[in-house]
Amino acid sequence: MSSLDFIMKPRAIAVVGASTKAHTIGSDIMKRLQEYAFQGPIYPINPKGGVIEGLPAYPSVLDVPGPIDLAVIVVNSNFVLQTIDQCHEKGIRGLIVISAGFKESGAKGAELEAALLQKVRDYDMRCVGPNCLGAVNTHPSVRMDACFAEALPLRGDIGFVSQSGALGGGILNILKDLNIGFAQFISIGNQADVNAETAMEYWENEEDVKQILLYMESIQNPANFRRLATRISKKKPILALKAGRSDAGASAASSHTGSLAGSDKAADALLRQSGVIREFSLQKLFATAKVFSNCPIPKGNRVAIVTNSGGPGIMATDAICELGMQMAPLSDSTKETLRSFLPAAASVKNPVDMIASAPLEHYRRTMETVLADDNVDMVIAIYLPFLGLKDIDVAKCMMQVREEHPDKPLLGVFMTTSDFFSTLSDMDVTVPFFMYAEEAVDAMARLDQQRRWIERPVGECVRYAVDRDAVVATFKQALAENRDQLTTRESMDVLKAYGIRICGSGFARTADEAVAIADAIGYPVVMKMTSKTTSHKTDVGGVRVNITSAQMLREQYADLIAKLEQKGLLDGLEGVIIQEMVKGSREMVCGIATDPQYGPMMMFGLGGVFIEVMKDVTFRLAPLTNVDAAEMVRSVKAFKLLEGARGTTPANIDQIEETLLRLSQLVTDFPFVDELDINPLMISEKNGEAIAVDGRIKVRLAEAQGALA
Q: Which residues contact 127 (CB under 8 A, 6 or more apart)?
A: 94, 95, 96, 97, 116, 117, 120, 192, 193, 194
Least CB distance from residue 264 to its own copies, whole Å? 9
Least CB distance from residue 214 to its own copies, whole Å? 13
* Residue 107 in the binding site for its own copies (CB under 8 A): no
* Residue 482 in the binding site for its own copies (CB under 8 A): no
Q: Quick one: which segment of 190-198, 280-288, 362-370, 516-524 binds its own copies (CB under 8 A)? A: 280-288
Among the listed residues 585, 650, 686, 702, the single contact to its own copies using CB under 8 A: 585
Q: Which residues contact 187 (CB under 8 A, 6 or more apart)?
A: 128, 129, 132, 133, 134, 135, 147, 161, 162, 165, 168, 169
Per-position DSSP letters for 100-157, written without gaps between them: --SGGG-HHHHHHHHHHHHHHHHTT-EEE-SS--EEEE--TTT-EEEE--SSPPPEEE
Choose among 457, 433, 691: nearest CA to 584.
Answer: 691
The backbone torsions φ and ψ at residue 617, rounded to the nearest 5 degrees and listed phi first, read -130, 160
70, 10 contact by CB (below 8 A): yes
The backbone torsions φ and ψ at residue 698, rounded to the nearest 5 degrees and listed phi first, read -130, 140
Query: What is the separation, in whole angstroms, between the first and last Cα of the chain?
Result: 46
Choose among 100, 174, 85: nearest CA to 134.
Answer: 100
Q: CA-CA distances (angstroms) from residue 638 to 427, 503, 622?
A: 50, 22, 22
64, 40 contact by CB (below 8 A): no
Give me the 28-67 binding string for its own copies, x by CB under 8 A, dash otherwise. x---------------------------------------
Among the listed residues 110, 174, 521, 707, the single contact to its own copies using CB under 8 A: 174
* Span 427-456, contacts to its own copies by CB under 8 A: 435-439
Among the listed residues 211, 309, 491, 665, the single contact to its own copies using CB under 8 A: 309
* Residue 637 in the binding site for its own copies (CB under 8 A): yes
- Label each residue of 326-368 as H, E or C: EECCCCHHHHHHHHHHCCCCCECCCCEECCCCCCHHHHHHHHH
Least CB distance from residue 181 to its own copies, whole Å? 15
Q: Quote the longest CA-to-CA distance of the chain.
A: 105
Q: Following CA atoms 365, 368, 371, 375 in sequence, which dihedral angle do they give, to the nearest 10 degrees? A: -50
Among the listed residues 245, 265, 299, 700, the single contact to its own copies using CB under 8 A: 245
Give me the 589-628 binding string for its own copies, x by CB under 8 A, dash otherwise. --------------------xx-xxxxx------------
Query: Which H or E element spans position 257?
Result: helix 247-257
* Span 247-276, contacts to its own copies by CB under 8 A: 247-249, 252-253, 255-257
Q: Give the orientation angle of helix 107-122 with respect to helix 80-90, to 10 degrees.
A: 10
Nearer to its own copies, 126 or 176 (CB): 176
Nearer to its own copies, 317 or 659 (CB): 317
* Residue 543 in the binding site for its own copies (CB under 8 A): no
Q: Give the orientation angle of helix 511-521 with respect to helix 550-566, to 10 degrees.
A: 140
434 bridge partner residues: 413
Q: Quick one: which segment of 243-251, 620-628, 658-666, 690-698 binds its own copies (CB under 8 A)? A: 243-251
Least CB distance from residue 492 to its own copies, whole Å? 23
Least CB distance from residue 148 to its own copies, whole Å? 8
* Span 196-215, contacts to its own copies by CB under 8 A: 215
Among the listed residues 62, 114, 166, 520, the single contact to its own copies using CB under 8 A: 166
Question: How many Å apart are CA 309 and CA 207, to the nearest integer?
Answer: 41
* Residue 586 in the binding site for its own copies (CB under 8 A): yes
Nearer to its own copies, 494 or 611 (CB): 611
Nearer to its own copies, 385 or 599 (CB): 385
* Residue 170 in the binding site for its own copies (CB under 8 A): yes
Least CB distance from residue 203 to its own copies, whole Å? 22
Going by their DSSP bridges, the two strands 525-531 and 543-547 should be labelled as: antiparallel
* Span 407-426, contacts to its own copies by CB under 8 A: 415-419, 422
Question: How many Å apart are CA 490 and CA 475, to the nearest integer?
Answer: 8
Nearer to its own copies, 170 or 572 (CB): 170
7, 96 contact by CB (below 8 A): yes
* Span 366-395, contacts to its own copies by CB under 8 A: 384-388
Q: Quick one: which segment of 165-173, 446-454, 482-490, 522-530 binds its own copies (CB under 8 A)? A: 165-173
Among the listed residues 463, 634, 640, 686, the single contact to its own copies using CB under 8 A: 640
* Span 316-355, contacts to its own copies by CB under 8 A: 317-318, 320-322, 327, 345, 347, 349, 351, 353
Nearer to its own copies, 90 or 390 (CB): 390
